[in-house]
Amino acid sequence: MFNELKDMINHLEDTELKSLLLQIFLRMQTVGEGKGNSEQQFFLDLKNTYNDLLATKNNQASSKQAQYHTTNIVFSDSAACSLEITLIKSDLNQQENIINVSDLFSIGPLWNLHTPEGINHRYNWLRTHINIDEKQLLTYEYNFEQYLLSLKQIPNDHKIIIWIGENAHEQAALRLILYVLKEKTNEIMLININEAYKMHFDLAEMEPPPRHMGEISTKQLKQIYENKGNGHVLTQLERKVFEQQWLQLCQQKDVLRIWENNEIVNVPENYYDGYIIDKVKESHEKNNHKDFIKSARIIGGVMGHLNQYIGAQFIEYRVIRLIMNGVLDMEGVPTAMRHYSIKIK
């Protein structure tokens, strides 16, 4: 209820907020002076005002949804931003909607993530393992439930386009989304950005392919989107296969996944620890054996050389674990990766 109210207030204009606050204060004053209705009636009026605001918000959302004919689904803020710019440049932003299920599904538990219990389970793991902004954590569960609700509320006449890459994050997200949409009869198209990228752009001999959609420029994305041959419309059988794969995936307890041989593969959470240690040693040697190396430099170096998309926050989590386990030594305060340095103990 708190998050719903907060979201509703955030969408009001300043003049609307001031007018609403003035009305409430005036009513409070008349009740206090005994010149108005009773306190009980005052409370009932406030409740009616809340319900009216909520109904208006829902009507506005439904009206906005009605103007679209296509819903695009992406899985990161960078991907959503690039696609929004692409739609604007193609004069499609008034016809196509974007739902951004913003998370990182290659890390953390996926147990029953399509349920409130599963969302809470994932939230608790993130809260105790990953260094996430407090504001983001505060609204995490509410936002995730809103993601799922927005998917279920996609109009039945909308074409749905799901953008994915060859990585565990977007592939796991795809299976979750198709399970949430299992009752929908909409046409669902997949656009594999890695396949499309290879089709349209020449990869330099030593240039790695994009690890996820967020690494594709808006110019490249526009070219991919305008070629309708890049999409694959899912058959009912294909959808059922993905739904079953989600039911298997959401029962596993692993917290780290990679994409290997066209499959999501669960690996131990210390899978990259050896690589992190090697990177610390390598940086130590390049730094003329000075004692401590900034952790941000190590984490950035690890991320730059991985062919998987698991995020800097998970690498930092493993760095902290290596410090706690006595493998690495630390100087500074680990409130953010730029605030502390590390070395081999």
Structure tokens belonging to residue 314: 């998970």
Contacts of 127 (CB under 8 A, 6+ apart): 137
**Does residue 32 surpass a pLDDT of 80?**
no
Query: Structural domain tally of the chain?
Result: 3
Q: What pLDDT, on the 0 to 100 scale, is given for residue 71?
A: 96
- Residues sharing a CB contact under 8 Å with residue 239, sequence separation 6 or more, in sequence order: 178, 182, 188
The band of 190, judged by pLDDT with boundaries at 50, 70 and 90, is very high
The stretch 235-251 carries a mean pLDDT of: 98
Query: Which of residues 48, 64, 80 is at a domain's end?
Result: 64
pLDDT reported for residue 63: 47
Of 219, 249, 266, the one marking the end of a domain is: 266
- 57 and 179, same structural domain? no
Per-residue model confidence (pLDDT) at position 291: 81
Nearest-angstrom CA–CA distance, 125 and 241: 28
Q: Measure Cα distances from 275 to 256, 303, 306, 319, 345 in Å.
A: 15, 11, 10, 11, 16
Answer yes or no: is pLDDT of 206 > 50. Answer: no
User: Residue range 304-309: average pLDDT?
Assistant: 89
pLDDT tens digits, 123-146: 999 999 998 888 888 899 999 999
The answer on 170 and 73 residing in a single domain is: yes
Question: What is the arithmetic mean of pLDDT over 258-286?
Answer: 93
Band of residue 11 on the pLDDT scale cut at 50, 70, 90: low
Percent of the chain, pLDDT > 90?
55
In the 8-state DSSP scheme, what is residue 164? E
| Residues 76 and 208 grouped into a single domain | yes
294 and 262, same domain (yes or no): no
* Cα first-last separation, the chain: 49
Domain boundary among 21, 46, 64: 64
pLDDT attached to residue 201: 81
Provide the CATH number for the domain around residue 248: 3.40.50
Average confidence (pLDDT) over 100-106: 96
Rounded to an integer, what distance in angstroms lies between the CA atom of residue 262 and that of residue 193?
14
Contact 212, 309 (CB under 8 A): yes
* Structure token digits, residue 16: 């609307």
| More reliable by pLDDT, 14 or 344 | 344
Nearest Cα neighbor of 107 from 179, 18, 173 is 173
Q: Which amino acid is at 140?
A: Y
AA identity, residue 136: Q
Q: Is residue 242's pLDDT more than 80?
A: yes
Q: Higher confidence at residue 29 or residue 298? A: 298
Q: What is the pLDDT of residues 84-96, one digit of tens each?
A: 999 998 888 889 9
Q: Does pLDDT of 46 surpass 50?
A: yes
Domain hosting 45: range is 2-64
Report how far apart, in Å, the C-alpha atoms of 49 and of each of 20, 41, 43, 61, 121 are.
9, 12, 10, 18, 35
pLDDT higher than 60, residue 64: no
Q: Judge if 161 and 18 occupy the same domain.
A: no
Please indicate, yes or no, whether residues 117 and 252 belong to a single structural domain of this protein: yes
Worst-scoring range by mean pLDDT, 199-208, 275-284, 286-295, 314-323?
Answer: 199-208
For residue 267, what are the CA distances in angstroms to 18, 32, 54, 258, 260? Answer: 54, 64, 45, 7, 11
Q: What is the mean pLDDT of residues 202-207?
A: 59
Q: Write the pLDDT tens digit of every residue in 142-173.
A: 999 999 999 999 999 999 999 999 999 999 99
